[in-house]
Amino acid sequence: MNAAAFAAQQQTNRPETDQRQILAEIREIETDAAALVAAGGSPEIHPRRDYPPYRSSLLRHPTHQLVRVDPEEIERHSPAFGHTDVDPLESDLTIQHTGEPIGERITVTGRVLDGEGRPVRHQLVELWQANSAGRYVHKRDQHPAPLDPNFTGVGRAITGDDGSYSFRTIKPGPYPWRNHTNAWRPAHIHFSLFGTEFTQRLVTQMYFPGDPLFALDPIYQSIADPAARERLVGSYDHDSSVPEQSLGYRWDIVLTGSRSTWLEPEDADE
């Protein structure tokens, strides 16, 4: 049976999968990944695209190896964004409506860096999230949690000279999804990032420290290396908490694409 037929069968006549089954699958893959590292392999930086515990990945991952290619000049540059694209007020998600959103007010602050630790300056950061009840302003999110008329959950910012960004928002709630029975996503904020090269493009999610759902979540766990996935967890930062206003979280983001200092191969003219 090929992958597609297997996946189709999984979709149509699989019995209700429970959390125990998902956990067993997660552990098996993590053990496998750890064995690869123990045998001298590099830890996996990114999630596995083929990650069966995340059921939607079954039919949506390529089965061929990615083709390695030297980036062309255009790919060693990134689209330019700036003051004409983003209003400074877009980084405050708590002032987009006439009233105050419900929930725990937080700030999320950090720096966007490249693989050599240099700041990614004047570049676009986009963010989106559920409200404090775990509901998205999206017609396909129909789970019975309230929408908040004073919260949309979308923000944008342009990084500063030091690569820094800062958003003011409310802490999102966890929410249910249909990967398996009683599946819940840990609270998270989606981030979209551009680097200095298009090869550094990144879409990811930031999580909050100590979430009891981490171990159960096949999206978080799709990053097989424990140290790698912990890099998605922001840290509580009391120094950025504002008295009687908001709690502060810090999260730095490191983008890597092709080698940052790209040299034309010697046979480029051949």
Partner 1 sequence: MSEPTPTPSQTVGPFFHFALDYPGGPQLVPGHHPDAIALHGTVWDGSDAAVPDAVIEIWQTDAAGQVPRGLGSLDRDGITFTGFGRAATNRAGGYVFTTLRPGSGFVTLAVFARGLSHHLFTRAYLDPEADDRLLASLPDDRRGSLLATRETATSYRFDIRLQGERETVFLEYP
The tokens for 56 are: 């939607």
Judged by CB under 8 A, which of 19, 21, 36, 75 binds partner 1? 75
69 binds partner 1 (CB under 8 A): yes
82 binds partner 1 (CB under 8 A): yes
Catalytic residues: 136, 175, 185, 188, 190
Cβ neighbour number for residue 143 with a 10 Å cutoff: 13
Q: Residues in contact with partner 1, total (CB under 8 A)?
A: 86
The tokens for 114 are: 């490249």
Question: From the CA atom positions of the chain, what is the Rg in Å?
Answer: 20
231 binds partner 1 (CB under 8 A): yes
| Whether the Cβ atoms of residue 135 and residue 175 lie closer than 8 Å to each other | yes
- In angstroms, give the least distance from the CB of 98 to partner 1: 19
Contacts (CB under 8 A) with partner 1, residues 138-167: 138, 140-141, 152-154, 156
Judged by CB under 8 A, which of 22, 25, 29, 54 binds partner 1? 54
| Whether the Cβ atoms of residue 44 and residue 30 lie closer than 8 Å to each other | no
81 binds partner 1 (CB under 8 A): yes
- In angstroms, give the least distance from the CB of 116 to partner 1: 6
Q: Give the x-and-dash track for 120-139 against partner 1 (CB under 8 A).
A: ----x-xxx-x-----xxx-
| Whether the Cβ atoms of residue 106 and residue 246 lie closer than 8 Å to each other | yes
Q: In sequence order, what are the residues at sequence separation of 6 or more whose Cβ sits closer than 8 angstroms to the Cβ of residue 252?
A: 110, 111, 112, 113
